Amino acid sequence: MKTIKGLILREADRGEASKSICVLTAELGVIYVYVRGGKKSSKTSSSTQAFTYSALCLEEKKNAKGQVSYFLNSSEPVKLFYNIRLDAKRLALASYFSELIIYTGTESAGIDEVMRLALNTFYFLNEGKKDMELLRSIFEFRLLCEIGLRPDLIGCKKCFCYESDKMHFNFMSNNLECDDCCYNPDSIYDHVMDRTMLYIVRFIALTEYERLFAFTISPRYQQLLTEFTERFVRYHLKSNFPTLEFYKML
Ligand SMILES: [Zn+2]
């Protein structure tokens, strides 16, 4: 038996009465847990609902190939992000965040930073005071940074200048070039940033979690940021996310 804390990302029915839950944990990454009688039992219902952070007591079973399955023994809610469920748009955005985590998640250990990002983002989404598009941009870009795709944002990769009026970010090489050094500004992977955009992008990629959510930007820069982070996700994950399309429709 093992007790572990996890953020419930998704629930799925398993037969008449049971369900399985997909859980983000700092120790084991993304795991699936079978909840016997979970569709009906009121004992575990709040702590095994999507968008709840819970302490889960798990039973581990290994099959002949050594693959581990997890079964829920008992559970307690630690933090309920209850308000997310009260608003269709917030719920849609939370589902998109979950989908991104599941898509990028591995079974390997050591994803403390992803856990931290997810809990912080869900906290602000639940509170409802931060702009949802900004939360989306922060989450999309920082998640990919945390899983090993953090771009080289120190400066122009050729002349090493820190900033200029026009910097070119290249999605393929994942680094910056200034306007003078940019080899192929017409490349389909090129993305032009002014000083402010570069500052925002650097901030999201590099700042500590205590300050990560403590800023606001103008609608114009939000539009530019959304465009950038959406392209970044599309380039690296090469997948369409139905939950994102749904969120955009609302
Ligand atoms: Zn340069």
Domain that holds residue 186: 88-249
How far does the centroid of ligand 1 lie from the alpha carbon of residue 146, in Å? 27
How far does the centroid of ligand 1 lie from the alpha carbon of residue 116, in Å? 35
Which pTM value belongs to this model? Answer: 0.94
pLDDT > 90? residue 243: yes
How far does the centroid of ligand 1 lie from the alpha carbon of residue 218, in Å? 28
Number of domains in the chain: 2
Q: Which residues partner with 5 through β-bridges? A: 55
Q: Tens of pLDDT along 48-75?
A: 999 999 999 999 999 999 889 999 999 9
How far does the centroid of ligand 1 lie from the alpha carbon of residue 119, in Å? 38
**Exposed / middle / buried, residue 214 (Cβ in 10 Å: 0-12, 13-18, 19+):** exposed
How far does the centroid of ligand 1 lie from the alpha carbon of residue 203, in Å? 21
User: Are 59 and 141 found together in one domain?
Assistant: no
Sign of CA dihedral 173, 177, 181, 183: positive
How far does the centroid of ligand 1 lie from the alpha carbon of residue 208, in Å? 28
| Buried-state track 90-109, b at ≥16 Cβ within 10 A, e below 16 | bbbbbbbbbbbbeebbeeee
User: Are 120 and 229 found together in one domain?
Assistant: yes
The length of the chain, given as a count of residues = 250
**Last residue of one domain, picked from the residues 63, 80, 97:** 80
How far does the centroid of ligand 1 lie from the alpha carbon of residue 171, in Å? 17
**Mean pLDDT across 205-215:** 96
pLDDT > 80? residue 42: no
Residue 123 near residue 147, CB atoms below 8 Å = no
